[in-house]
Chain A
Amino acid sequence: MTDTRQPAVLVTRLQKSFGETPVLDNVDLTIAEGTIFALLGPNGAGKTTIVRILSTLIPADSGDVQVAGHDVGDDPDGVRASIGVTGQFSAVDELLTGRENLQLMADLNHLGRAAGRARVDELLVRFDLVDAAGRPVSTYSGGMRRRLDLAMTLIGSPRVVFLDEPTTGLDPRSRRQMWDDIRKLAASGVTILLTTQYLDEADELADRIAVLDRGRIVAEGTSDELKRQIPGGHVRLRFTDPPALRAAAALFDGAAPDDERLVLRVPGNGDVASLRLLLARLDDAGIAVDELSIHSPDLDDVFFAVTGQPTLEQEAA
């Protein structure tokens, strides 16, 4: 990166343990202003802990953490005045209406009467909450609640926004809508750090991605850079019985058999010529293939390559 401006978030050698259990181990992060940065990792990797330290909720054990030019330890109020946080758990007042929740945030941001009301109206329109504005939040759907949550975060026009698993638990349509909102927010010049356990989400939104595994950053780069770290795609073959799988595994160099699912991953980019060759070899050996699919490299492969573990999505697949 040749950006000469001060980064929006600068974390060096961050350490954190809860009791005896180390949670973060020497984490370094640099997030350039106006970009979307994704922290990708499975549950328990330490994503939320990083967000809680960056947003002044819990102190770091050691390391240097600067947000928008303020040190979280020395100047927490400076940090708080520059950030907006939308946590994993909804941070809205259930008993108030959507408008009252936003008005509460406007008042706490000292926006003043007229400016506050104007900002509330603007955000109600922007997040498609005008019709629901007068209803108590307890009647809102999950997606509406999340949008209100984000709108409340944005009232004070923060320069840096932390989104902790912003789409977890949302239905696919609300998820798409949240992605659109996040993109629009980034387009307006706000720096965004989002955590996610969904690879497609990081791939879709982030300028840069850091893969977090058990408190350590195991890979970092753009989505393309990360994909380049693995050799290429693979062809997935499924068999009906273990002998067929073993016979096929013996045919190809570098093939990875999965005995449990009777699946064989054969490295290759899946072009027509190589596929024809692959099928011919299977035919010659008299091995019947139950199912064939071609995989271009995605972040699942990256995660597998850098951590040696499948992600939750792959396990579920």
Chain B
Amino acid sequence: MSTLAYTVSDSTTMLRRNLRRLQRYPSMTLLLVGMPIVFLLLFVYVFGGQLSHGLDTADAGGHIGRAGYLNYVTPGILLVTVAAAVQGTAIVVAMDMTGGIIDRFRTMAIARSAVLTGHVLASLIQSLLGIVIVLGVALALGFRPDAGVLDWLAAIGLLTLFAFALIWLATALGLAAKSVETASNTPMFLTLLPFLGSGFVVLATMPAGLRQFAEYQPFTPATETLRGLLTGTPIGNNAIIAVAWCVGIALASYLWSVRLYTTRRSA
């Protein structure tokens, strides 16, 4: 076999291992998928009636009231789903790095990248599964997207790219953490960021300093693009900005991860 064939084969083996581990440890996946569902219910049924008063029907894909707010908030909730899922990535990566098995992998003649690739691919599958579940709940509650086939494909593509970027970031955070406990805390800011953007309320209602932060952080263009694709609101240049953020985060985090993986020695 060639080097490339070995790399693919080793990465597939690691992916299989990680998927099996997720299967054996379902409580984590359930918890991570449960969080965005709780947020969805909370925001639609507790806050939604009030918050919907601040929305134009144009913001809400032509719907009004609670149904309008459900349409408005679902794209943001989908990004929260990704942010929540990657906390699991940091945890499983840190579990691996602080356990004895990583030294075994390091002393074997396997493709260097296989360990990380296996984690990233497994997390990507887990995140997309979470998105499908949360989207299913939103649809069941009455989310009515008016996206065409191409819009759906673009939305799935954006969510995948966004997940890919955050997973590499979480991988780096998991590698940098000295303990599993630290790794479960450091990516927490990712679940907070969507709230400081256009996911839940219209940016115009925020005070000046916060609004500026919200405008320029990556969740906002991603939310706006996703909302536009799913409910037909204007996208503008948000799509390009969102993709640029994803590529930038993914690349920087990938390089950081590889550096941490090759230089870090477990105790």
Q: Which residue of B lies closest to A55 (CB)?
A: B107
Q: Which residue of the partner chain, among A91, A104, A110, A152, contacts B103 with CB atoms under 8 Å?
A: A91
Q: Is the CB of B107 within 8 A of A110?
A: no
Is B21 part of the contact surface with A, judged by Cβ < 8 Å?
A: yes
Is B259 part of the contact surface with A, judged by Cβ < 8 Å?
A: no
Residues of B contacting A: mostly: helix
A95-B25, A104-B17 known; A110+B6 contact, CB < 8 A: yes
Assign chain A's interface to a size class: 20 to 34
Q: Is the CB of B24 within 8 A of A80?
A: no
Is B100 part of the contact surface with A, judged by Cβ < 8 Å?
A: yes
Select the residue from B6, B13, B99, B109 with max chain A CB neighbours within 10 A.
B109
Q: Is the CB of B104 within 8 A of A96?
A: no
Q: Is the CB of B24 within 8 A of A95?
A: yes
The interface residues of chain A lying within 8 Å CB-to-CB of B21 are 93, 95-96
The interface residues of chain A lying within 8 Å CB-to-CB of B20 are 95-96, 100
Is A122 part of the contact surface with B, judged by Cβ < 8 Å?
A: no
Cβ of A99 to closest chain B Cβ, rounded Å: 12
Is B224 part of the contact surface with A, judged by Cβ < 8 Å?
A: no
A93-B17, A95-B24 known; A108+B101 contact, CB < 8 A: no
Is A58 part of the contact surface with B, judged by Cβ < 8 Å?
A: yes
Cβ of A153 to closest chain B Cβ, rounded Å: 8
The complex places the Cα of A95 from the Cα of B29 at a distance, in Å, of 15
The interface residues of chain B lying within 8 Å CB-to-CB of A95 are 20-21, 24-25
The interface residues of chain A lying within 8 Å CB-to-CB of B1 are 110
The interface residues of chain B lying within 8 Å CB-to-CB of A91 are 99-101, 103-104
The complex places the Cα of A153 from the Cα of B105 at a distance, in Å, of 11
Q: Is the CB of B108 within 8 A of A90?
A: no
Is A92 part of the contact surface with B, judged by Cβ < 8 Å?
A: yes
Q: Which residue of the partner chain, among B13, B104, B109, contacts A85 with CB atoms under 8 Å?
A: B104
Q: Is the CB of A108 within 8 A of B110?
A: yes
Q: Which residue of B lies closest to A58 (CB)?
A: B265
A77-B109, A81-B109 known; A92+B6 contact, CB < 8 A: no
Q: Is the CB of B106 within 8 A of A93?
A: no
Contact with A along B1-37 (1 / 0, CB 8 A): 1000010011001001100110011000000000000
Cβ of A190 to closest chain B Cβ, rounded Å: 16
Q: Which residue of B lies closest to A153 (CB)?
A: B104
The interface residues of chain A lying within 8 Å CB-to-CB of B17 are 93, 96, 104
Is A269 part of the contact surface with B, judged by Cβ < 8 Å?
A: no
Q: Which residue of the partner chain, among B25, B100, B101, B106, contacts A56 with CB atoms under 8 Å?
A: B106
Beyond A55-B107, A91-B99, A107-B9, 11 additional pairs, beta carbon < 8 A: A77-B109, A81-B109, A85-B107, A87-B103, A92-B101, A93-B21, A95-B24, A100-B20, A104-B17, A108-B105, A152-B104
The 29 listed contacts between A and B (C-beta, < 8 Å) are A55-B107, A56-B106, A56-B107, A57-B106, A57-B107, A57-B265, A77-B109, A80-B107, A80-B108, A80-B109, A81-B109, A85-B104, A85-B107, A87-B103, A87-B104, A91-B101, A91-B104, A93-B21, A93-B101, A95-B20, A95-B24, A96-B17, A100-B20, A108-B108, A109-B108, A110-B1, A110-B6, A152-B104, A156-B108
